[in-house]
Structure 1
Amino acid sequence: MRFERSHTRKAAFVAVASSLVLLASACGGDDGSSGDGGGSTAGALEGRGPITLASGKDTSGNLQNQLNAWNASHPNEKVELKELPEDADAQRQQMVQNATAKSDAYSVLVMDVVWTSEFAANQWITQIPEDKVPDLGKLLKPTVETAKYRDKLYGVPITSDGGLLYYRKDLLTAAGITDPPKTWADLTAACQKVSALPAGKGIGCYAGQFEKYEGLTVNFSEAVNSAGGKIVGDDGKPNVDTPEALAGLEELTNGFKTGAIPKAAITYKEEESRRAFQDGKLLFLRNWPYVYAKAAATDGTSKVAGKFGVAPLPGKDGTGVSSLGGHDYAIASSAKNKATAIDFINFMASEERQKANIEKTSQAPTWASLYDDPGLNKQFPYLAPLKASIGSAQPRPKVVKYGDVTAAIQQAAYDALSAKTPPKQALSDLQTKLQSLITQ
């Protein structure tokens, strides 16, 4: 978006403490590799009996219902919920501590998709033979890739997430615009037209999540990927000192320079940006699917209920590229009763359980057919653009030292958005930093 003056739920993942990074390195080697060149080998999934599920705080209120459905038919293999903190970094810390202590307190881990490489490389989770997951081919392919490390499966995707563009459909219609923007140039032009309307005065053009936290890594990644770049190339090496990465970053820095992105957006996380859109202060918003239900609320909390639409993110030359979010279920290497664990994971990944979950929580499923379910599409109109978003989504860097890598990305991007460092210099410095961090 070449901005003119006209005007990533999921849990934030922050940089880990250096002591934990050192601990991780000590357990898995400097590059996280084990002797076989790709984490632990597939072990026998043996043992039946009770298991535990280690998960972040269940803010949906529905997870225990899902577990009850399993427990009712498996009285001798019940699963107990071990609820961890709501904060993603705290969840990860407790899982790492459990793994390094070789404790069997956690059987199945509910893992953020960006943790797979670290946990697999350090042999904290068990490799899963793909023939043990019969429905794997029925899940959205990008979600399956989040559960792999060096082409080996270490988890099963249960929920997904993709970035969406929320837009004020009423204002676009008033400006004579019939379709949401597919490119940054389209978005800019739409902002210019709407700003010329009496109803468009004082409304900001666009915002995402630009505070220095995991959401900034998500937004930076989307800008780079949507400009045709990659933070880490297919060869596994850093790739940010490129014209494509510069084009992506400059879309954001230009937005702040011109005011098309409001100055306040430098402090936005998911909720701050949602409230700005929901209060009628933004024409366009990048955010996750959870925003839909809140913005559509008719209880007086939303000023845009019935006035907005949802579309895939825009890009430089066409539809943009979302960063992929979501959660995978993995089996802790030190767990007992792994045969029960894989059966439970398959149960939770089933079409029936995923449908029951989206109906209660609106969390994005990983089962492909659910995105074409007529009843679900009526209940959740964003499913079609969400499927497109997930289908073309790219993962954040799949690296062992993810905590350090995301911290470096956040610092470089924040310095550029804050006009502390020119974009080209920020990317050159980031390239150097990432080369020292990404060694596998």
Structure 2
Amino acid sequence: MRRIPLTGATVACAALALSLSACGGDDDGGSKGTTAEGLQGRGPITFVTGKDRSGYLQKQIDNWNEDHPNEKARVIELPDEPNDQRQQMIQNATTKSDAYSVLNLDVVWTAEFAANRWLTQLPMVPSGGSGAATAKGAAIDLSTMLPATIATGQYRGKLYAVPSTSDAGMLYYRKDLLDKAGISAPPKTYAEMWSACDKVKKLPEGKDVDCFFTEVNKTESITISAVEAIGSAGGTIVDASGKPALNTPAAKQGLEFLVNARKDGRMPKAAVTLDTEGGRRYFQSGKLLFQRQWPYQYALADKGDGSSKVAGRFAVAPLPGPNGPGVANLGGHNLAISAFAKNKATSLDFIRYLTGEQSQRANLLATSQAPTVAALYDDPEMVKKFPYLPVLKSAIASAKPRPVVVKYGDVTAAIQGSVYDAVTGRTSVDQALSGLQSKLTPLTAQ
């Protein structure tokens, strides 16, 4: 990464880079037909993405199509659940189908997709901004991007995906209820959060409000909750060398937080069935005091059209932890070109269009999704409209990634099963962690 001082972003990126270099695959990270030199062909393309909750994506596509009548893009929307999106993309890749051109990938999928030669290597501006690719104007310049996002698109030192949106978990909270309870600041620790809940419960307005929610349903979301809980306790699921690290006091403390929050009634009874959108609707209904959630919720929850009962009544803060501010998961999406796509030159231009500062600014204004262009987080106009941007920028800089491994599908499935069994009381915390350590050991072996 570019920054020399050991900031939170540098440490996070260094760990991610180590994890990527430990992944399997060819030494050159690619094969014929997947290298940067193969970016040829112009004409219509498809853009494959998860469900667009904002409704704004089609406007961006329409703008592109108006300017590129002979190179139009068509959106292919996949299911809302990330696991289903990944499976459909893999099915398309394993058949070497050219039906998908540009892929909207979860940041944690890069290693798996690149190692399996499902992605086209992208030309990247070298350090210093010189070189033949730069002279041709073909290379991707990442110098404007947040440092923490850049490594998520790289595999074995080469670029396979361009950061499009970033993400990090934040604590949404009912500021109006905290104010009425005499609480002047959001909680920085779990103990402060539980104390605030107890005080709000004594209010007439707070007696039917649940305390806290983070996703613990058996999907990708529970992997994210586990990464944040264990990371906030000072642990990790897979360490920088690529090995599982669940036989630690920190891992136990982190998982116990999730287990006890549900067992002690701090979370809604329906917590194990609520997905991301279910959690959003629950918060917007006014039934929740604290919620771990992504930035996209901000614009939706603050709508004044009657769809949200908490519009103008909530705020955001960093996630709490056991002894101070917690750790967020590094989320987001990157844009990549399928190794089997036609019209790869058009696909590269389309990626450049969607990830450019102008498009990211417009997307932030329309959807509140986190951009990857660093300057937008310090833009006075943006900060005025989205007061959470400084909190989010800090969260992204210190965020922890999910395990960056080639066999990610198997790894996250193992995490989901073990953590869900512990949260629902089917196994003890110790049994869940020891079992997960055993499952992950062969899956992460080099």
TM class by smaller structure: 0.7 to 0.9
In the alignment, the residues of structure 2 paired with residue 215 and residue 168 of structure 1 have an alpha-carbon distance, to the nearest angstrom, of 23
- 2:237 corresponding residue in structure 1: 231
Q: Give 2:98's aligned amino acid.
A: D
Q: Give 1:417's aligned amino acid.
A: V
Q: How far apart are 1:227 and its partner, in Å?
A: 1.0
- 1:363 corresponding residue in structure 2: 369
In the alignment, the residues of structure 2 paired with residue 53 and residue 397 of structure 1 have an alpha-carbon distance, to the nearest angstrom, of 29
| Cα separation, partners in 2 of 1:83 and 1:74, compared to 1, 3 Å | same
SS at match of 1:264: coil
The alignment status of 1:64 with 2:54, answered yes or no, reads no
| Cα separation, partners in 2 of 1:271 and 1:306, compared to 1, 3 Å | same
- 2:185 corresponding residue in structure 1: 179
Alignment of 1:275-424 (within 5 A): 275-424=281-430
| Cα separation, partners in 2 of 1:389 and 1:146, compared to 1, 3 Å | same
Q: Give 2:96's aligned amino acid.
A: K
TM (norm. structure 1) is: 0.86
- 1:164 corresponding residue in structure 2: 170
| Cα separation, partners in 2 of 1:371 and 1:37, compared to 1, 3 Å | same
Q: Give 2:109's aligned amino acid.
A: W
- 1:207 corresponding residue in structure 2: 213
Higher mean C-alpha displacement, 334-343 vs 208-217: 334-343
Gaps of 5+ in 1: 1-30
- 2:40 corresponding residue in structure 1: 47
Q: Give 1:172's aligned amino acid.
A: L
TM (norm. structure 2) is: 0.85
SS at match of 1:429: helix
Q: How far apart are 1:134 and its partner, in Å?
A: 4.4
In the alignment, the residues of structure 1 paired with residue 71 and residue 270 of structure 2 have an alpha-carbon distance, to the nearest angstrom, of 51
- 1:98 corresponding residue in structure 2: 92
| Contact kept? 1:51, 1:107, Cα under 8 Å | no
| Contact kept? 1:154, 1:330, Cα under 8 Å | yes
Q: How far apart are 1:36 and its partner, in Å?
A: 1.4
Runs of 4+ off more than 6 Å: none
The alignment covers a number of residue pairs equal to: 410
SS at match of 2:90: helix
1:324-351 per-residue CA deviation (whole Å, 9 max, x = no partner) reads: 2221111111223333322321222110
In the alignment, the residues of structure 2 paired with residue 346 and residue 238 of structure 1 have an alpha-carbon distance, to the nearest angstrom, of 36
Partner residue of 2:102 out of 108, 115, 120: 108
Partner residue of 1:139 out of 141, 145, 150: 145
Q: How far apart are 1:181 and its partner, in Å?
A: 1.2
Q: How far apart are 1:408 and its partner, in Å?
A: 1.0
Gaps of 5+ in 2: 1-21, 126-137
Q: How far apart are 1:388 and its partner, in Å?
A: 2.1
| Cα separation, partners in 2 of 1:37 and 1:316, compared to 1, 3 Å | farther
Q: How far apart are 1:153 and its partner, in Å?
A: 1.7
SS at match of 1:44: helix
| Contact kept? 2:44, 2:70, Cα under 8 Å | no
In the alignment, the residues of structure 2 paired with residue 35 and residue 282 of structure 1 have an alpha-carbon distance, to the nearest angstrom, of 49
Q: Between the two proteins, what is the percent identity of the paired residues? A: 55
In the alignment, the residues of structure 1 paired with residue 104 and residue 41 of structure 2 have an alpha-carbon distance, to the nearest angstrom, of 20
| Contact kept? 2:170, 2:318, Cα under 8 Å | yes
Q: How far apart are 1:150 and its partner, in Å?
A: 2.8
| Cα separation, partners in 2 of 1:155 and 1:351, compared to 1, 3 Å | same
SS at match of 1:427: helix
Q: How far apart are 1:32 and its partner, in Å?
A: 7.5
Considering only aligned residues, what root-mean-square deviation do their CA atoms show, in Å? 2.3
| Contact kept? 1:33, 1:39, Cα under 8 Å | no
1:374-413 per-residue CA deviation (whole Å, 9 max, x = no partner) reads: 2222332322222222222111111122121111111111
Partner residue of 2:258 out of 230, 252, 256: 252
Q: Give 2:401's aligned amino acid.
A: P
The alignment status of 1:120 with 2:135, answered yes or no, reads no
| Cα separation, partners in 2 of 1:379 and 1:403, compared to 1, 3 Å | same
In the alignment, the residues of structure 2 paired with residue 213 and residue 353 of structure 1 have an alpha-carbon distance, to the nearest angstrom, of 31
In the alignment, the residues of structure 1 paired with residue 139 and residue 379 of structure 2 have an alpha-carbon distance, to the nearest angstrom, of 23
1:12-39 per-residue CA deviation (whole Å, 9 max, x = no partner) reads: xxxxxxxxxxxxxxxxxxx983331645
Q: How far apart are 1:202 and its partner, in Å?
A: 3.6
